[in-house]
């Protein structure tokens, strides 16, 4: 008996997000090898689309690392951080702390700038920290998936540039939904994933380096070494055997974004987020971050006091209503539900379906 699922489930957790049928269909196209001319043409077009999505010019580079968003994280760190480097890590949630941990594993001397879970960091705190010590790099999570907070990365990057500090930005839960602007915001390295706002299955980590950071890249990792990866993506040399079906899917998902356009896509995510927050308010519920610091893609919904077993509600949503949402992480475990409305999942119909199911389960 096959264990492969045969029933649909609406994925409204922190990721993966729903994938359009045309993206799934693309994965069934005939296989090509990793150095086939057809594949190389696809990779060239994929890079072109990613340059546009990240807004990084031709002197920089944008491509996709074979792996999940965590591989993008490690690629960014591996090509910037060397043993003994001082790194300022902004930690206001689970994934900010993960960035700090990876920097430590690469031998960095890490200073954590810790903020409240559920609030954005004040850029002036970053300025003060940089005025008191020299840093090689600063890390920040643009869209903190554990709390639903949108960080002011443009302001942070400006402060970093004033001090000659390289910015490493996690855009895992923002790319393809919120604006992300490498050149316009003065960012140095930005990484993401394929399975959230971008709208493809998990398995790729889109990443962009600006020109200066690209030129200085030097990694102790073989698999994540930027010059070696460029050797495959641009110079046509063998590095690893890339997944053909996942290339097809990512390319098709990027085509969908280009057809919708990022301004329209961002507006859709903002609108659907507003509809959800409004519907929650009518139920007496709210989201964790204050207005102005909220993600459109990930909503940290405060669990009401009347709910004594939050896990039971999540199981009922999954098994009775066919809807998946996520649990809280770290200090927010048992205090919030994490609801993702991103990519193809960011629709008014999905909000209505989820709200109706929540009303059934919690009143």
What tens digit of pLDDT does each residue of 307-320 get?
999 999 999 999 99
Q: In degrees to the nearest 10, what's the CA dihedral of 37, 42, 47, 50?
A: 180
Residue 357 C-alpha from the chain's centroid? 27
Tokens of 64: 């996709």
What tens digit of pLDDT does each residue of 182-212 get?
999 999 999 999 999 999 999 999 999 999 9
Split at pLDDT 50, 70, 90, the class of 336 is very high
* Domain extents in the chain: 10-17+261-362, 22-259
pLDDT at 176 over 90: yes
Split at pLDDT 50, 70, 90, the class of 37 is very high
- Give Cα separations from 41 to 234, 248, 258 (angstroms): 11, 12, 18
What pLDDT was estimated at residue 29? Answer: 98
Q: What percent of the chain has pLDDT over 90?
A: 99
What tens digit of pLDDT does each residue of 65-111 get?
999 999 999 999 999 999 999 999 999 999 999 999 999 999 999 99
Split at pLDDT 50, 70, 90, the class of 321 is very high
For the segment(s) 22-259, the CATH number from 3.40.50.1100, 3.40.640.10, 3.20.20.70, 2.30.29.30 is: 3.40.640.10
What pLDDT was estimated at residue 140? Answer: 98
What pLDDT was estimated at residue 97? Answer: 98
What pLDDT was estimated at residue 363? Answer: 80
Decide: 132 and 156 in contact? Cβ < 8 Å: no
Decide: 229 and 65 in contact? Cβ < 8 Å: yes
pLDDT at 359 over 90: yes
What tens digit of pLDDT does each residue of 132-157 get?
999 999 999 999 999 999 999 999 99
Tokens of 184: 């316009």
Q: Read off the pLDDT of each residue in 245-261 and give the average, rounded to a whole number.
A: 98
What pLDDT was estimated at residue 334? Answer: 97
What pLDDT was estimated at residue 28? Answer: 98
What tens digit of pLDDT does each residue of 287-310 get?
999 999 999 999 999 999 999 999
Split at pLDDT 50, 70, 90, the class of 252 is very high
What is the arrangement of strands in the sheet containing 137-141, beginning at the earlier edge strand? Answer: 61-66, 204-209, 189-191, 166-170, 137-141, 86-91, 109-114
Gyration radius (Cα) of the chain, Å: 20
3-state secondary structure of 168: strand
What pLDDT was estimated at residue 331? Answer: 96
- Give Cα separations from 24 to 19, 34, 63, 194, 260 (angstroms): 7, 20, 21, 13, 18
Domain 10-17+261-362, second-level architecture: Alpha-Beta Complex (3.90)
What tens digit of pLDDT does each residue of 13-27 get?
999 999 999 999 999
Split at pLDDT 50, 70, 90, the class of 1 is confident
What is the arrangement of strands in the sheet containing 326-327, beginning at the earlier edge strand? Answer: 298-302, 336-340, 326-327
């Amino acid at each position: 008996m096959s264990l492969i699922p045969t029933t649909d489930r609406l994925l409204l957790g922190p990721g993966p997000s729903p994938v359009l049928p045309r993206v799934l269909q693309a994965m069934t196209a005939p296989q090509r090898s990793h150095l086939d001319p057809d594949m190389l043409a696809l990779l060239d077009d994929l890079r072109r689309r990613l340059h546009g999505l990240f807004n990084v010019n031709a002197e920089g580079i944008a491509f996709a690392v074979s792996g999940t968003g965590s591989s993008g994280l490690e690629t960014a760190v591996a090509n910037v951080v060397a043993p003994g480097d001082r790194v300022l890590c902004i930690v206001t949630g689970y994934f900010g702390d993960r960035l700090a941990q990876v920097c430590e594993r690469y031998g960095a001397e890490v200073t954590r700038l810790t903020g409240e879970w559920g609030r954005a960091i004040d850029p002036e705190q970053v300025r003060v920290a940089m005025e008191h010590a020299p840093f090689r790099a600063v890390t920040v999570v643009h869209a903190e998936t554990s709390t639903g907070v949108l960080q002011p990365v443009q302001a942070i990057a400006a402060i970093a540039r004033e001090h000659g500090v390289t910015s490493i930005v996690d855009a895992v839960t923002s790319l393809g939904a919120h604006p992300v602007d490498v050149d316009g915001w003065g960012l140095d390295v930005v990484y993401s994933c394929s399975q959230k706002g971008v709208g493809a299955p998990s398995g790729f980590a889109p990443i962009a380096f600006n020109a200066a950071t690209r030129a200085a890249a030097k990694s102790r990792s073989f698999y994540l070494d930027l010059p070696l990866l460029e050797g495959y993506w641009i110079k046509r040399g063998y590095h690893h055997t890339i997944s053909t079906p996942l290339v097809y899917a990512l390319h098709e998902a990027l085509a969908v974004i280009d057809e919708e356009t990022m301004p329209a896509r961002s507006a859709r995510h903002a609108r659907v987020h507003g509809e959800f927050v409004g519907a929650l308010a009518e139920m007496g519920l709210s989201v964790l971050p204050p207005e102005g610091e909220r993600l459109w893609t990930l909503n940290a919904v405060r669990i009401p006091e009347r709910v004594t077993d939050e896990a039971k509600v999540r199981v009922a949503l999954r098994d009775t209503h066919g809807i998946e949402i996520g649990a809280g992480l770290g200090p927010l475990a048992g205090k919030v539900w994490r609801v993702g409305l991103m990519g193809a999942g960011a629709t008014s119909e999905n909000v209505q379906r989820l709200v109706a199911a929540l009303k059934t389960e919690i009143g």
